[in-house]
Amino acid sequence: MPRRRSLTTVTLIATALAGSLVIVSTSPPAQAQRKSIRWATASVDTYGYKVAASVTKIIEEALGGEYVVTVNPYPSTTAAMKATMEGDGEIGYTADIGMTEYATSDGAFRNYRAPKGTLVHTWYAYPMETFIAVHAPKAAQFKCWKDFSGKPVFYSPAGFMNWLNIRRAYKVLGYDFRHVQIDPKSQADALQGGSIVGAVAYTTSGASLVPYWKETEIRMDVTVVNPCPDEVTKLKAGGLTLAAVDPKTAFSKAVGVQQIQGVPILFAYNARADLPEDVVYKMLVAFEKNKDRLASTDAGFAPLAQNFVKLQVDGINANPDIAVHAGLAKFLKERGSWDERWKAAPGS
């Protein structure tokens, strides 16, 4: 009898375990693993990383919890673009100038072939404005941008979109682009010590400086050097525009000019065409729905809140020969803003 009771007990335990295994195997987490969307951005101290990290919850909610969004930083925006096109991300941080350089095989994209797939127009989020500043005590030496030609300047970290933007402006002006790469956190020391004579600064939507520039202006007085009238004329003739920035909004103290003149660029988070159409469409709808809330928490989103659709149209028109993601195409067609001259990428 003891032996029979023991066998019965084992049988009951085994049956109970088998039942528990069935319950576990049919539970929802095991049935459907959350899919991954990886956002490749510039380094963690950049505005691009900050924005991507701030919208992950909006995306996950818009996609019904089916996806988990992670933000992966890279040394530069160019590196983030390449990582996405090489399959290490689904969405890459970029700007209109970066898309142009890839499309024309220029700069870092010379002879580059995307092994996984190219970036297409997906979501344009905010503009930035690029300009040049110097250590205030040395400002008398610099009246125009030509005074920086051939001299050591930190044009923002190499490979960043503002670096590409000012290099593009120099090409139009015919100036010698002599870049000196430094740690952005050492910018104030480099300007004061003379190892660089100037540095590129930039604002987001004319409202805020990048964090390392905020540190620089706390440590020293700076003067902004605007392009001279003949340079403005030449830049415009070369297809570039100038954006006015209120220095009282951007800086905490006077910077020697009543108005800053910067060359604007439009930043984006663009995906490969193989990211499903419904994913991108739902993301865009969610961003549009939350545009006012985004702007209330970050002034950089003000242009997005003012005219969400126009920002997308402007981004596409900066490189109209590049394909538009199927999700963005659907979004714009529903809002009567699709241009038949554009090309929609095949949906996934």
% of the chain surpassing 70 pLDDT: 90
- Summarised one tens digit per residue, pLDDT across range 214-262 is 999 999 999 999 999 999 999 999 999 999 999 999 999 999 999 999 9
Q: How far apart are CA 45 and CA 103, in angstroms?
A: 28
Radius of gyration for the alpha carbons in the chain, expressed in angstroms and rounded: 25
| Mean pLDDT score of the chain | 91
Between helix 326-334 and helix 308-318 the angle, nearest 10°, is 130
List, as one string, the DSSP characters of 156-178.
SSTTSHHHHHHHHHHHHHT----
Question: For position 88, what pLDDT does the model report?
Answer: 97
- Summarised one tens digit per residue, pLDDT across range 161-207 is 999 999 999 999 999 999 999 999 999 999 999 999 999 999 999 98
**Amino acid identity of 205?**
S
* Angle (nearest 5°) at CA 266 between 308 and 104: 125
Contact 123, 328 (CB under 8 A): yes
Q: How far apart are CA 90 and CA 69, in angstroms?
A: 10
Contact 131, 260 (CB under 8 A): yes
Question: For position 348, what pLDDT does the model report?
Answer: 55
Q: How far apart are CA 343 and CA 204, in angstroms?
A: 29
Q: How far apart are CA 306 and CA 312, in angstroms?
A: 12
Residue 27 has phi, psi (to 5 degrees) of -70, 150
* Angle (nearest 5°) at CA 109 between 106 and 112: 125
- Summarised one tens digit per residue, pLDDT across range 1-38 is 444 444 344 343 344 434 443 434 334 443 358 899 99
